Amino acid sequence: MNRRLLGGLFALASCAPAFADDIVPWAYPVGAAGLEREERNLWADAEEFDKALGRAGKLRKDPELNAYLQKVMDRLYPEFGGKLRIQALDANQLNAFALPNGSIYINTGLLARLQNEAQLATVLAHEGAHFVHRHSYQQLENAKSMSVVALVIGMAGVPIVGNAVALGSMSGFSREHEGEADHIGYQRLVKAGYAAKEAPRTFTHLIAEIKALEIDEPFFFASHPKLQDRVDILGELAKDAANGEAGYEAYVMAMRGVRLAALQQDLEAYRYQQLILVLSDPERRREYPPEAGFFLGEAYRLRLQAGDLDRAEREYTLSIELAPGFAPAYRALGLLHYKRGDNARAAPLFRRYLELAPDAPDRGYVEAYLKESG
């Protein structure tokens, strides 16, 4: 990013709109051309950030997933006809954020943890409210606004998946604007016909996971107390709400690939405690594809507490039974038997693995195991 743009961002952050109290929400799609200079510049910076995300390769290339997300957003804000553009980011932090030009991003880590479409709609309705009510423009006077900091970090060339995506612009909105987005988002949720009682549930299991794992990285809606406040506020709003659509089955189908990818990312990062916490819960487990047993088995193998190898064996076996075409489970179970000296049980599993994955990068190693197993 050039110095003019970087300097402009910080200068912009220190300028308040001339009539902040008179900034009215958008009632229909607008373009940048008719905006005041400060807001027009803010939109331009946001568009540069959009491009930076694309160049960094963090946008999830899944047209079906993004079409599904866009359908939910359009249902919540039909009058904006796609002006609110939603995309998934390949990042495992529990986060989502809105840019001042109408770009909305949600991390795959958060998508994997939500349970149904109504919970997704809760998040997207909140984010859409930040754009429609022009909260970024109203907060230009705050030089430490995380929305501006996120733009600066991203466009200055610092790795996007680190600070910029993890923090997100949401962390910079004031308590007043967060509260306004909560209420507006809730109204949008109800008007769109979603189950209002899912709104507080969007965050309750996230709180449990954050506390159990002692997560201290930035995550959705910033700090723990704010997250609990949000549950309390939404719970009060929804206590007398009529029934609506939860959209459980549609969400499970749409998130199949996202959830498997998130499990793989957790495994590669040795976040086995997180995998065990989520997948050992029967209610949560049924949200995941049958291949999830392999990942839970790997998590037990990595943890290696008393009885964990037996638990891993059960999970590998279950994965093979429920997803017989998933090659990694055969390799994992075969290797477990091989290390126990049970070559008779290991060999057919290795052979099946190679049949399912003929171009496997570890083919040479597995063939050596097979030769040794006789």
Number of continuous H segments (helices) and E segments (strands) in the chain: 20, 3
Q: Return the structure tokens found at 357.
A: 């994955």
Phi-psi region of 270 (alpha: psi -120 to 50; beta: other; left: phi over 0): left
What domains appear along the chain, each with residue ranges and CATH number? 3-250 (no CATH), 256-373 (1.25.40.10)
User: From CA 145, how far away is CA 154, in angstroms rounded?
Assistant: 14
The residue among 185, 195, 210 whose CA lies nearest residue 76 is 185
Question: Scanning the structure block, which residue is given the tokens 């939500």?
Answer: 114
User: From CA 140, how far away is CA 338, in angstroms rounded?
Assistant: 62
Query: Would you say 240 and 252 are in contact if contact means Cβ atoms under 8 Å apart?
Result: no
Give the C-alpha distances (Å, rounded to integers) separating 53 from 6, 88, 150, 175, 315.
17, 11, 12, 28, 37
Question: Scanning the structure block, which residue is given the tokens 């590998």?
Answer: 316
Cα dihedral 274, 279, 283, 287, rounded to 10, equals 100
Cβ atoms < 10 Å from Cβ of 83? 19
Cβ atoms < 10 Å from Cβ of 30? 14
pLDDT in tens, the chain (374 residues): 444 444 443 344 344 444 455 788 887 788 877 788 888 888 888 888 888 888 888 899 999 999 999 999 999 999 998 889 999 999 887 888 888 889 999 999 899 999 999 999 999 999 999 998 888 777 765 533 444 445 444 433 333 433 343 333 434 567 787 888 888 999 999 999 999 999 999 988 788 777 777 666 545 544 444 778 888 889 999 988 889 999 999 999 999 999 999 999 999 989 899 899 999 999 889 999 999 999 999 999 999 999 999 999 999 999 999 999 999 999 999 999 999 999 999 999 999 999 999 999 999 999 998 888 76
Q: What is the pTM of this model?
A: 0.83
The phi and psi torsions of 235 (rounded to 5 degrees) equal -65, -40
Cβ atoms < 10 Å from Cβ of 274? 20
User: From CA 37, how far away is CA 42, in angstroms rounded?
Assistant: 9
